[in-house]
């Protein structure tokens, strides 16, 4: 049996799947988020406890269209994904509940985000393969990223699914495929509270979850990432359905030293 990778105890991760306000175009949403809101949030968290990483993941519409043209399942309905690493969920709750957040950051979010339909996911994470990013307010030129949203196979318990994904699935991805030599980052995100419904960003409603794990996979180009569906098909023991989402990455804040399992 392959070695099982461990969930990290030094940080947690939040992903927010964003939907734009219906009154603005995707281009307006994309530009405002990257050029304006990134600085609003970075200024807000400066000097505050707990924040380790802040990345914006902007949908790569051209690569998404290619995936759909190949008949592959892609995630629809979202316009971007925000990534936050913090020391703990307590630090996360504190960061989004200050008077300054409600007076400065939230009003800026409301200019371009539909908070009532954007979804917040909380994860524990396992770092399988890592790389260092240089923070910038620009889209990174050195990285192509694929988000893979995974549902567990019917009949598998969450515990069985997690164990299999952290061991055999990680081995298949990193050792049994050509892509295993081309990955620059590979992280598994496991729901920290799998029995709880998923809340909207405004915290006024919730929805049932549609997937059980998210994988973040980086490479130098999209060519190897387009072979992902074949890799995941080779691991049918634990995995059910998968959805792909190609994104462009802007690493706004990264206080993480190089981490290796």
Give the pTM.
0.93
Instruction: Give the number of other CB atoms < 10 A from CB of residue 172.
Output: 17
Q: What is the DSSP string of 113-126?
A: B-TTT-EEEEEEEE
Q: Which tokens is 69 given?
A: 């043209």
Q: Residue 72 domain-assigned?
A: yes
- pLDDT per residue as tens, the chain (261 positions): 456 789 999 999 999 999 999 999 999 999 999 999 999 999 999 988 889 999 999 999 999 999 999 999 999 999 999 999 999 999 999 999 999 999 999 999 999 999 999 999 999 999 998 876 677 878 888 889 999 999 998 888 999 999 989 998 888 888 777 666 788 899 999 999 998 999 999 999 999 988 999 999 999 899 888 888 777 777 766 788 899 999 999 999 998 743 333
Angle at 38 between CA 32 and CA 41, to 5 degrees: 125
Q: Domain containing 143: what range?
A: 12-254
Is 95 among the domain residues?
Answer: yes
Which residues lie across from 162 on neighbouring strands?
none
Closest CA relative to residue 57, chosen from 102, 97, 18, 103: 18
**Domain count of the fold of the chain:** 1
- What's the token pair of residue 138? 């620009």
The answer to whether residue 1 is domain-embedded is: no
CATH of residue 248's domain is: 3.30.70.100
In a domain, 7, yes or no: no
Structure tokens at 62: 């051209």
| Any domain includes 56 | yes
**Distance separating alpha carbons of residues 128 and 112, to the nearest angstrom:** 34
């Amino acid at each position: 049996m392959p070695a099982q990778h461990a969930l990290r105890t030094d940080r947690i991760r939040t992903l927010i799947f964003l939907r734009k306000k219906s009154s603005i175009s995707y281009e307006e949403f994309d530009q405002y988020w990257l050029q304006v809101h990134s600085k609003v949030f970075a200024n807000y968290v400066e000097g505050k406890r707990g924040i380790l990483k802040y990345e914006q993941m902007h949908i790569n519409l051209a690569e998404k269209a290619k995936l759909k043209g190949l008949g592959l399942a892609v995630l629809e309905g979202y316009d971007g994904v925000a990534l936050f690493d913090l020391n703990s969920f307590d630090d996360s709750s504190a960061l989004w509940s200050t008077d300054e957040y409600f007076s400065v950051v939230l009003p800026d979010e409301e200019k371009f985000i539909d908070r009532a339909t954007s979804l917040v996911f909380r994860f524990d994470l396992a770092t399988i393969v890592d790389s260092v990013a240089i923070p910038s307010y620009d889209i990174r030129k050195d990285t192509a990223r694929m988000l893979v949203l995974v549902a567990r196979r019917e009949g598998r318990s969450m515990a069985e699914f997690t164990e299999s994904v952290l061991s055999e699935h990680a081995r298949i991805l990193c050792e049994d495929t050509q892509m295993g030599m081309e990955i620059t980052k590979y992280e598994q995100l496991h729901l920290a509270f799998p029995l709880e419904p998923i809340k909207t960003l405004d915290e006024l409603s919730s929805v049932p979850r549609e997937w059980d794990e998210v994988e973040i996979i980086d490479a130098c180009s999209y060519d190897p990432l387009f072979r992902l569906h074949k890799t995941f098909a080779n691991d049918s023991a634990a995995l059910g359905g998968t959805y792909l989402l190609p994104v462009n990455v802007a690493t706004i804040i990264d206080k993480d030293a190089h981490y290796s399992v």
